[in-house]
Chains A and B, each alone.
Chain A
Amino acid sequence: MSSNRSKPHGLLAEFHTAADIFEAAIRCRDAGFTKWDVYTPFPIHGMDEAMGLRKSPVGWFTFCGGFTGFFTGMTMIWYMNKFDYPLVVGGKPLFTPLFAFPVSYEMTILLSAFGTLFGMFFLNQLPKFYNPLFKNERFKKSTDDRFFICIEATDPKFGTDATRTFLTEKCHAAVVELVED
């Protein structure tokens, strides 16, 4: 795996139980690492707090999307029914927020969903076609029955030997080194 010419990507620590990785995540958080992530086959409740993640800013994208959607719906119906081509239907007013509401509401949901999805893509720098983790055979078990922590070499606190010692001795994990290729 490791070669002298390759740039190190980081260290991959493997755990057998959710409880182990939960403990280890708290230790990594308290050790002050910033560029690291946890990979588990299923969501573990409380992991966000254990990793010390701050609240995701995705909600702001959702809100902006929803806000835009609501007013797009209202404006669109006002423009079409009252301004561009006034048409009386069923003796109702040419425009009222009432009948525009269901459409605006659907637009709110649609653009909120877009805001959430694309906001998440943007914040996670997705799509990304390659990650050195994919080359690790054992990492495939992260979708099955193993739990992984990867601390990246770009982390200011990262030192190959010190971090390896930290992961093996403090976190009791099997550790392998990953390289960029």
Chain B
Amino acid sequence: MALAGVMVTGAVVGLGMLPALGADAGHAAQVAQEAAHGAASHGGADHGHAAVSVFSLKQIAHSYLTAYMFCLSLCVGSLFLTLAHHLFDAGWSASIRRVTETLASLLFPWMLILALPIIVFAWTGNLHAWFRIDPASDHALDVKKVLFNPMAFTVMVPVLITLLGLLARQIRTWSIAQDKDGAAHWTSKSRKLAAGGIFFFAFGVTLLCFLLMKSLQHQFFSTMYGVYYFAGSVWTTLITLYLLTMWLSQPGRPLEKVYFKRQQQDLGVLFFAFTVFYSYIHFSQYFLIWNAAIPEETFWYVRREVGSWKWVGMTILFGHFFVPFLILLNQDIKRNMAVMIPVGAWAWLMQYVDMTYNVMPVLHPDGLKLTLWDPIFWLGMAAVLARLFWSDYRKNPAYPLKDPRLQEAIIHHEVPAPGASAAH
């Protein structure tokens, strides 16, 4: 099965390291001391500056985590859009809701399974430095050890992904049940679940990206980090949804009769809004840290101004914000496929660059270093999930057949062109 392709390099390679784990307690203590020393002398450096081999487990683990965070962003973004649809009692998005429901349902079990190698990598000392650091020797870790300890990580990451996935699945189950009887109470149930679910979503996604990504440099503080990940996630999800629904509504495809230009425009507008929201959040995080100039926070960005990382940061500033912002300012562009398809591909690249910017400076402090693992894991994992999405999506009706709001989505203000009304 295709999933195994990604899993093999992840889990099997990771498990191969397991015998080494705990074999030499003295060595582990030494590693911990070195790491603690590094943290003290470099103001938050977490690995040594030794060059990392392309085929080292560390490289594989970090490339895998980057790809995973990218794919996770599409799932949590879809879950958010599903929850938001119910919370706002929206009409226009009813016909594309099955797509977001199905994407979000990938969280369980698939994203859970794909998360397991990360836990193995962490335990074998290839990801988060604090797995091998004694909190007693590292004050920054000591104050955060409630969250950042191997057991909490091992329990919380799978539990959070599972609960988010079950939330997505529950809403989809009710949505599919409504396809049969058309009863309105399924909608009210989903709305009630979404009302509580959005709080769990906010805490869950924040904790997940704290544990998986932010804690790679456990000395860092940022209360905006969760929102930052969320904003980028929804941004990427919206353009993915935009292109996916556009493809699904071509003549002869399932959404042909329920999805129209007006909804496409609305998705484009939302994508534009999140372009601004993302940059607002990321700028705020940077600006507050820059302005306060507290070493516990600034080291994170100082690290990312070394060597070519500075230019990666500039790529995010211009490529993630200015370029899409200026392109999307124009109203009509949001329906222009010749522009939107390249913008979509660009957005995927930018989200991946953003994840790389978060994960990789830990491994390659001197500058960006791309390896073959990066595209393999990124596109491989995305392809595997796309395949799983498609087989899951095709099992059920392509849109909520009897949703009470579907009518609103369908009569979404289509006006006959000049000359077409005379026959009436």
- A interface residue numbers (CB < 8 A to B): 23, 26-27, 29-30, 45-46, 49-50, 52, 55, 59, 63, 90-91, 98-99, 101-102
Contact = CB atoms under 8 A, between A and B. Distances in A.
A46 B262 CA distance: 10
Nearest to A48: B415
12 contacts: A23-B421, A23-B424, A30-B421, A46-B415, A49-B413, A55-B331, A59-B330, A59-B331, A90-B291, A98-B287, A99-B291, A101-B287
Contacts of B418: 29-30, 52
A30 B415 CA distance: 12
Contacts of A49: 413, 415
Contacts of B331: 55, 59
A26 B421 CA distance: 7
A26 B416 contact: yes
Contact of B290 (A45, A55, A59, A98): A98
B290 A30 contact: no
Contacts of A27: 421
B419 interface: yes
Contacts of B422: 30
A21 to B, nearest CB: 13
A94 B132 CA distance: 43
A85 to B, nearest CB: 21
Given A30-B418, A90-B293, A91-B293, 5 more contacts: A26-B415, A30-B419, A49-B415, A59-B331, A63-B329
B413 A45 contact: yes
B313 to A, nearest CB: 13
Contacts of B421: 23, 26-27, 30
Q: Is the interface of A mostly helix, strand, loop or mixed?
A: helix
Contacts of B286: 98
A50 B420 CA distance: 11
Contacts of A98: 286-287, 290
B332 interface: yes
B174 interface: no
Contacts of B332: 55
B247 interface: no
A42 B286 CA distance: 44
Given A55-B331, A55-B332, A63-B329, A50 B291 contact: no
B283 interface: yes
A44 to B, nearest CB: 9
A99 B421 CA distance: 56
B304 to A, nearest CB: 15
Nearest to A62: B329
A27 B332 CA distance: 25
A55 B331 CA distance: 9
Contacts of B414: 46
Nearest to B422: A30
Interface in B269-323: 283, 286-287, 290-291, 293
A101 B284 CA distance: 10
A99 B288 CA distance: 10
Contacts of B419: 30
Contacts of A91: 293
B121 to A, nearest CB: 36
Nearest to A44: B413
A59 B328 CA distance: 13
Most buried by A among B287, B415, B419, B422: B415
Nearest to A102: B287
Nearest to B412: A45
B415 A50 contact: yes
Contacts of A23: 421, 424
A101 B424 CA distance: 56
B280 to A, nearest CB: 9
A124 to B, nearest CB: 19
A15 to B, nearest CB: 16
B321 to A, nearest CB: 12
Contacts of B330: 59
A27 B293 CA distance: 65
Contacts of A102: 287
A90 B287 CA distance: 14
Nearest to A52: B418
